[in-house]
Structure 1
Amino acid sequence: MDIQELKRNFEQFLKQRGYKVTKSRLNLVDKIASYGSHFEIEQLVHYVVGSSKDGVSRSTVYRTVKLLQEFGAIREVIKLGNRTIYEFSAGKPHHEHLVCVECGKIIEFYKDEIEELQDKVCQEMDFTPLHHRLEIFGICSECKSSHENRR
């Protein structure tokens, strides 16, 4: 799905739920899609406010992120302490995450074997999955090697 189609669908979503369709909200879809990485909302606020000539408010960013979550274009991917990390997921294939607890680096990956095992477990348990996420927390190769070099 291209960004224009996504915006049209988001506009329909807003109308169906009785929300206002504003230029700021629709422009934010472009900004968020172009951000290009995982983000905390405050990081996104600084990016949007710093690159916007429209005077978009912090509250508009927060509300729009929440609406895009409901719509399915943004998903919460990681809870780490008091931090919540999101990603723009529209048009991206399903994937999982490795999270470095030292530097915060997030590595995306996909393995058919994991998906197959989850499907098998759900089938064995007569469980209908709606969605899932897998986060593995550890130490990335860069942080591991910098620890080893300090010894």
Structure 2
Amino acid sequence: MTELSLLSIRKQLQEAGFKLTPQREATVSVLLEKEKEHLSAEEIFLLLRKKHPDIGLATVYRTLEILTDLNITYKVVFEDGLSRYDLRRTSNEHFHHHLLCIECGNIEEIHEDLLGDVEKDVESRYHFIVKDHRLTFHGICRDCQKKLRLPQKNE
């Protein structure tokens, strides 16, 4: 499976013994549509309520918990302490990295695995099998650099 889609998620749920109920399908659809936005459960709930007023917040939380347990989504907690949900890209073995702007709060994703050599070093030096890792760079995005008139690198 190379591309994440509603069909591939339905298959993963079925293989784990879950059905893709209308409520779960609606939740997954929001995650797919807003893939780059790092939404919290509450934000997903508010988006769902526009089209599906009968869906409750508890249902959204349960769906996200199932998706996270099945490694379809990742739960990510940034500095603000709010849990956000990211879809796992099947083309990557590991979770992707983030660039978090400390000025505006914008979050960008890095999909390359930047820590392959570090993982190998940890495994050989500490006899520790690395299954995954998470990395967030905190800094100032290009737009905020311009607004703050900071010298920009590589330009």
Q: TM-score range by the shorter chain?
A: 0.7 to 0.9
Inter-partner Cα distance in structure 2 for 1:137 and 1:114? 17
Stretch moving more, 69-78 or 108-117: 108-117
Q: Give the TM-score of the pair, scaled to structure 1.
A: 0.80
Residues 21-80 of structure 1 deviation map (CA, whole Å, 9 limit, x = unaligned): 633223422332222222122111111112x24621111111101111001111023421
Q: What is the RMSD of the two structures over their aligned residues, measured on CA atoms?
A: 2.3
CA shift for structure 1 position 10: 0.8
With over 3 angstroms needed to count, the CA separation of the structure-2 counterparts of 1:49 and 1:101, relative to structure 1, is same
Instruction: Show CA shifts across 1:97-134 (max 9, x none).
Output: 11112211112124555322222222221111121111
| Regions of 4+ moved over 4 Å | 110-113
| 1:11 counterpart (14, 22, 32) | 14
Partners of 2:17 and 2:101 in 1: CA distance: 36
Aligned residues: 144
Counterpart of 1:40 in structure 2 is 40
Q: 1:29 to 1:131 in 2, by over 3 A?
A: same
Quick one: distance in 2 between partners of 1:35 and 1:99?
18
Describe how 1:1-151 pairs up with structure 2 within 5 A: 1=1, 2-15=5-18, 22-37=21-36, 38-50=38-50, 52-53=51-52, 55-93=54-92, 94=94, 95-111=96-112, 114-148=115-149
The answer on whether the counterparts of 1:77 and 1:133 sit within 8 Å (CA) in structure 2 is no
Structure in which a larger fraction of residues adopt helix: 1
Secondary structure of the residue that 1:142 maps to in structure 2? helix
For structure 1, the residue ranges without an aligned partner over 5 or more in a row are: none
Q: Distance in 2 between matches of 1:66 and 1:117?
A: 30
Distance 1:48 1:105, change over 3 A: same
Q: Which amino acid is 1:146 matched to?
A: K
Structure 2 gaps, min length 5: 151-155
CA spacing shift, 1:5–1:83, aligned 2, 3 Å: closer
